A and B are shown apart, each in its own frame.
Chain A
Amino acid sequence: MNDPLPTPPLQTATELEPLPPAPAPPEETPAPDASNSLEALIAQITSHNDPQALNHMLRTFAPKEVKETILGSLLPGGADPLQALDVEVNTLGILYLLSARLHVAAAAAPPPEFIEAFCQGFDPEQARLAPERVTLLAKGIVQLGQEANQPTFTAKALADLLVRFPPSLHYLTPLHPLFMTTCVANRLFAAATPILSEAITEIDTTLFPDLHYTDNLVYHYTGGIAYAALQQWEQAEEFFEIVVGAPAQVPSAVQLEAGKKLILVQLIKDGKAAPLPRYTNAALQRLLKGTPYYSLIRFYPLQQAQLQVAVEKEKETFEKDQNMGLVKLMLEHAPRWAINKLTRTYLTLSIPEIGKAVSMEGQDEAVQRIILSMIEKGEIDASLSMDGIVTFNDTPSSAPTRMLTRTEVDSALKEAQHQASILRALEREIGKSREFLVKAVRVKDNDWAAPGAPDEDLMFGVTPTGTWADDA
């Protein structure tokens, strides 16, 4: 295959309808060489008005391997073809060229400034025509950043790409996990928060056909790690829970890891572990119960001696799982939860007594420090007198000590109404969806046919079993 394959002449390509993805018709004209073809491509890209047709052309103008080489090459004379194009107008063309340049081994790397400019200024409408090229580009950017050891560059470029590319940040894209993995691997947690704070609620495989289930798992897992690193436990818990509760026929390793971290985060956040979501895969629950993490729950937070022993015993496992940091944090939080429990039982206690109750006997100063920091953070509602007596106020800190204001009530109501409207819209959507209607009609038909049916089960007037079998 020395001969480069024929490319359709320019004229034909412009008139080519996007409908049939038919192979390019064989041409008599002698094949132009790669750089020539690139020149021609550039000309086409600049002259094209219909992005859809252009996309089709770019996708099909040559067989795969050759195409990438062509796209990744430079103009004759070494000029960079990218400079000839306008970022906003020729988004699609640049997307193809750029992604190829980043992936073809022999191609010259594009200047980082250009990538940055592109990520900030591209036209999302055009880019959405070729989502798989965007993914390719993102992977290329990750690679580039790794080679140049410039994670901030990668994170910045991907974030720009991520903000503009999907219709809104509520959509999950294949870029999400790439971005989060970069952020977490390079401890750029703060950079991740603007993206993380927009919860994923939409999955659209027509917009992003190359979405894979691992994208969801990895994004939320890494997101959870980022939040845990920022000590925003509540969000971290939610992210890990999403991973653990993700639909699964068989549990994935990511889910198991997330489950372990979920337990630790819950212990830190609430002082106890909450049951896993009911829809969690049963095998996953079993696996998780077998881990040493599960045994920590039993001792937390009061039996600190046993806790220490358990941690010591399983230290290797924790270190292997890279969870030692969280485990240590969890141990540090144990006295706090123990003290918190005391507030429900006692009105006043002296510091040595508290130390005894939370098994930190003789470390009065440490106990006092913990109590002071707990008061500061509002975890307990208490005051410390000069002679070392702690007075817990009557209402536990979890309940509001004051009446709610009108505006707070209003905003809560508004939130609830908003939720209700989302659910209502969803119900309508399902109600008119094809699958639902087909099923509904079938159930109805069977009901109708039931009296005449000779089926034994139907004679008892229970739900016709036949319909259920069909549904399954």
Chain B
Amino acid sequence: MDVEMADATEQIVAQSRISKAPTPTVVVDENHPFELETYMSSYTGRVAVDRLVHIISLAPSIAPQALQLALRHIQSLRDPALYQVVLAAYEQAASHGSVQLPAADDVATINQRWVDETNTKNQSERMKLEVELKTYTNNMIKESIRMAHRDLGEFYRSVGDYSTSLKHFTKSREFCTTNQHIIEMCLSVLEILIEQRNYSHIPTYIFKADAALDQSTSASDSKAVGGGKGKASAERERYQTKLDFAMGLSQLGQGQYDKAAYSFLKLGAPAKLDDWVGKLVAPGDVAIFGTLCALASMSRSAIKSNVLENETFGIYIEHEPYVRDIVEAYMSNKFKVVLELLEKFSTRHYLDIYLSSHVHDLVNLIRNRSIVLYFQPFSSIKLDRMSTVFGWSVEEVERQVVALIQSGEIQGRVDSQNKILKARQEDPRAQLFAKALKAGSEMQSANRKLLLRMRLQQADLVVKMPKNQKPEQPEFVMGAGSQMLQMSEFVQLGP
């Protein structure tokens, strides 16, 4: 049946997002609370299904529930191919997962009538739009051609054919007459890229949109000195938050947590995200992204001024109050609480499509920073005291601390016998002397070698191509080489 469906819609399922490397399964229980219904209520449209697919493949314990939800969501869309994606994800989870899952047919049924209807509807709409485009192209009406491309782009996007959709959107650019159009095009492309999680391409379109915004600002400046300016900056403000968000997401996706933190933290109010709220992201997500990135990369004072005292960001945080708890615990050195909270909400983090692959790294970074911060004021500390603070076993603490020392983040050494971490005592004066002497002798030997080299060059004693050698093998001068190889027969060094 699946095959028939694919034939009927004549569509290729562009994405194979379930065939990714198997991620660890995520547990949902009392210690790791996760309310699927509440969580999903903040998303609409296609992204909701995407998220549900992600959840199905990661958390088998709530997969049936998610499957039902997903099927319900699909009916409000117009892409029957999504059925396959969802079912495939479910079946994979069922075959991999340790938990026994009920068969997909028992959980939910597919509305075959709807599938057929939607397919016919899509087909006719596609025909209609393509004919329109053709007519407009023949008539050479620029604006209409642009709109036809845009509509086709929207259409293909809604049926899940992203590559064709992108093609139409980018094509529409040639027919853009105003900066407003360019910005619209860029935003549509950005939406697609974000949905596809194609992070590396996002900045290109942000810059394009930025340039268009700049142009419209300057254009309106020259037109009307008085009222135009206000309008232009309003326009910039209208889109800036969206662009910043896209930038932050792209940086997060590429693992540049420090940059991502700044991008997220400078976002405008959630209202400015406009239709992206729900369609792409929930304000709570922004709060989590921003905070985790900030904790993983920023200094304490920067966190204080950028997160805690940032009123706009505060609005985002209100959607996920536990985030504030994490930051506050962090600021007051209650690292155990921080780590417990991070663990408790790890399910929530892992089940987010954008954050999922970074949770592990981010948590590691936060933990490392916590240890470094905690040790800073001490000259020596017992490891078991650290273990109570962080809530780990002594062995675990030692392992973490040793890793941090080896990566150079903690200047100290471990007394493995008495389980004490000691800060390294440095004698700057002796170090300086040693360094100076070393630099001196290094410089001398470098001088010597360079002088010899210079003299060799002056005397033209340069390794050259032997005249009798063919130019096809320029790699090697064998002249003395063969002789040397023979000679090294005598030179078996060592024992």
Residues of A within 8 A of B (CB): 181, 184-187, 199-205, 211-218, 221-222, 225, 228-229, 238, 241-242, 245-257, 277, 279, 281, 283, 287, 321-326, 328-329, 341, 344-350, 353, 389, 392, 394-395, 398-404, 409, 412, 415-416, 419, 422-423, 426
Contact = CB atoms under 8 A, between A and B. Distances in A.
B424 interface: yes
Interface centre among A199, A281, A347, A389 (most CB of B within 10 A): A347
Given A217-B480, A253-B482, A345-B413, A419 B475 contact: no
Given A250-B476, A389-B417, A412-B440, A347 B449 contact: no
B97 to A, nearest CB: 35
Interface string B482-495: 10110111111111
B442 to A, nearest CB: 11
Contact of A211 (B405, B459, B477): B459
Interface of B: 402, 405-406, 413-418, 420, 422, 424-425, 427, 429-431, 433-434, 436-437, 440, 443-445, 447-449, 451-453, 455-465, 474-482, 484-485, 487-495
B434 A322 contact: no
B462 to A, nearest CB: 5
Contacts of A216: 456, 461
Contacts, number: 201
B488 A322 contact: yes
A233 B152 CA distance: 72
Nearest to B473: A250
B465 A328 contact: no
Pick the most buried of A328, A341, A400: most chain B CB atoms within 10 A of its CB: A400
B interface: dominant SS: helix
A331 B126 CA distance: 69
In this complex, which of A217, A323, A409 has the most chain B Cβ atoms within 10 angstroms of its Cβ? A217
B245 to A, nearest CB: 41
A199 B448 contact: yes
Contacts of A353: 416
Given A203-B455, A252-B477, A345-B413, A394 B424 contact: yes
Given A204-B459, A249-B462, A185 B413 contact: no
A399 B476 contact: no
Contacts of B447: 419, 422-423
B440 A416 contact: yes
A85 B460 CA distance: 39
20 contacts: A185-B487, A203-B459, A216-B456, A217-B463, A241-B449, A242-B453, A247-B456, A248-B463, A251-B463, A253-B480, A253-B482, A283-B474, A325-B494, A326-B494, A328-B495, A345-B405, A349-B417, A395-B427, A415-B444, A419-B444
A257 B427 contact: no
Contacts of B449: 238, 241-242, 245, 277
Contact of A345 (B406, B445, B457, B480): B406
A402 B420 CA distance: 26
A201 B451 contact: yes
B416 A200 contact: no
B335 to A, nearest CB: 22
B425 to A, nearest CB: 6
A222 B437 CA distance: 30
Contacts of A402: 430
A404 to B, nearest CB: 5
Given A213-B462, A392-B413, A229 B491 contact: yes
A405 to B, nearest CB: 11
A344 B426 CA distance: 13
Contacts of A248: 462-463
Contact of A253 (B459, B484, B491): B484
Nearest to B449: A242
Contact of B489 (A257, A322, A326, A350): A322
Contacts of B422: 347
A400 B492 contact: no
Contacts of B490: 184-187
Among B420, B484, B490, chain A packs the most CB atoms within 10 A around the CB of B484
A389 B415 CA distance: 11
Contact of A283 (B453, B462, B475): B475
A12 B365 CA distance: 94
Nearest to A237: B445
Contact of B465 (A250, A277, A415): A250
A227 B294 CA distance: 55
Nearest to A423: B447
Task: Identify the 7 closest CB pairs spanning chains A and B, nearest first.
Answer: A253-B481, A325-B494, A248-B463, A347-B415, A325-B493, A203-B455, A348-B417
A399 B436 CA distance: 11
A217 B462 CA distance: 10
A219 B492 CA distance: 18
A212 B443 CA distance: 28
B481 A252 contact: yes
Contacts of A202: 455
Contacts of A412: 436-437, 440
A184 B476 contact: no
Contacts of B451: 201, 422, 426
A110 to B, nearest CB: 27
Contact of B452 (A201, A213, A214, A401): A201
Contact of B463 (A205, A247, A344, A392): A247
Nearest to B478: A253
A392 B431 CA distance: 18
B103 to A, nearest CB: 46
Contacts of B462: 213, 247-249
A184 B433 CA distance: 39
Contact of B453 (A214, A251, A279, A416): A279
A390 to B, nearest CB: 9
Nearest to A347: B415
B453 A247 contact: yes
B463 A246 contact: yes
Given A242-B449, A247-B461, 8 more contacts: A184-B487, A199-B452, A218-B484, A252-B477, A322-B492, A346-B415, A403-B433, A419-B447
B463 A250 contact: yes
A255 B463 contact: yes
B477 A400 contact: no
A201 B116 CA distance: 89
A225 B489 CA distance: 12
Contact of B494 (A213, A287, A329): A329
Contacts of B444: 415, 419
Nearest to B481: A253
The listed residue with most B CB atoms (<10 A of its CB), out of A213, A279, A412, A422, is A213
Contacts of A409: 433
Nearest to B457: A247
A222 B474 CA distance: 25
A233 B491 CA distance: 16
B416 A350 contact: yes
Nearest to B492: A325
